Amino acid sequence: MIDLRLGRYQDTLADVTCDALIVDAPYSARTHGGHDGAATVVDGVKTGINYDGATRLSIDYTGWHPSDVRAFVDFFAPKTRGWMVSITDHVLAPVWAAAMEAHGRYVFAPLPWVAKGSRVRLAGDGPSSWTCQIVVSRPRTGEDRNGRPFSKWGTLPGAYVITQERGIVVGNKPLALMLALVRDYSRPGDTVCDPCAGGGTTLAAAHKLGRDAIGSEMDPETHHKASVRLGLRQPTAEDADWHHRRDQREDKGIEGLPMFSAVDSSKDLTP
């Protein structure tokens, strides 16, 4: 089951509870500003970068402040029976951790997602940023729907080294990453929620792995593209080009995605 709703999560998901929440919410204003600050403006639209002409689309949604993170966690912590997983930047990672901990959850040290070569610091003033932070937390007590204590969930990867992909919207995360996170932080038959669904990658991963998927996206155009991608509506003539060119790896499912190995926790999980 896939249920993708249109609107603000506060309005569309008020009736939802889930087994796992896996979200790639907006990053900090600093990260958004750094991304768009390098863009060249053409006819009022940021379309490229100043340094070597490489294409860089602007982020068309607002970065989050700490108050947005706290409000989000306050809303969803009572609705999430199991793991909460947030992909974020180094600015907001401690805010996510503190907000989850304030709800009595056990918060782990942030996990790195390393996308090798994904961002090049073309200003030439320091190191490139290949890493995002993944903040995860679980209930301190309680069991999953199968009666297994969350404290006995099992050993999970300490990092995810997965190459970035070109998605249907700016900021789209690679399917391989979301497959790995869904696999690691939920069980088959669980309900996985993504309140900031974007291009629908988390929902696609959850569906492929036998979970129910529910999410929300507030931008109508992005919601439409995600709905087409997820098979919730038929593509129009305007959709045909990008729909045809979307990453063919989406058809491969979980096959070839290795399980975590304690010997090699940095192994690339790309299918």
18: its two tokens: 């889930």
Question: Is the CB of residue 227 less than 8 Å from the CB of residue 2?
Answer: no
Enumerate the β-bridge partners of residue 88. 133
Is the pTM here over 0.85, yes or no?
Answer: no
Collapsing DSSP to helix, strand or coil, 223 comes out as: helix
Query: Looking at residue 83, what DSSP letter applies?
Result: -
Nearest residue to 266 (alpha-carbon basis) of 161, 154, 178: 161
Degrees (nearest 5) of the Cα angle 131, 134, 138? Answer: 165
Nearest residue to 270 (alpha-carbon basis) of 55, 138, 118, 92: 118
User: In a 10 Å sphere around its CB, with 0-12 CB exposed, 13-18 middle and 19+ buried, how is residue 113 labelled?
Assistant: buried
One digit per residue, the tens of pLDDT, for the chain of length 271 reads: 999 999 999 999 999 999 999 999 999 988 766 544 544 454 554 444 444 344 444 455 678 999 999 999 999 999 999 999 999 999 999 999 999 999 999 999 999 999 876 665 655 677 777 889 999 999 999 999 889 999 999 999 999 998 766 554 445 688 999 999 999 999 999 999 999 999 899 999 999 999 999 999 999 999 998 898 898 888 776 665 555 555 444 444 444 443 332 223 333 333 3
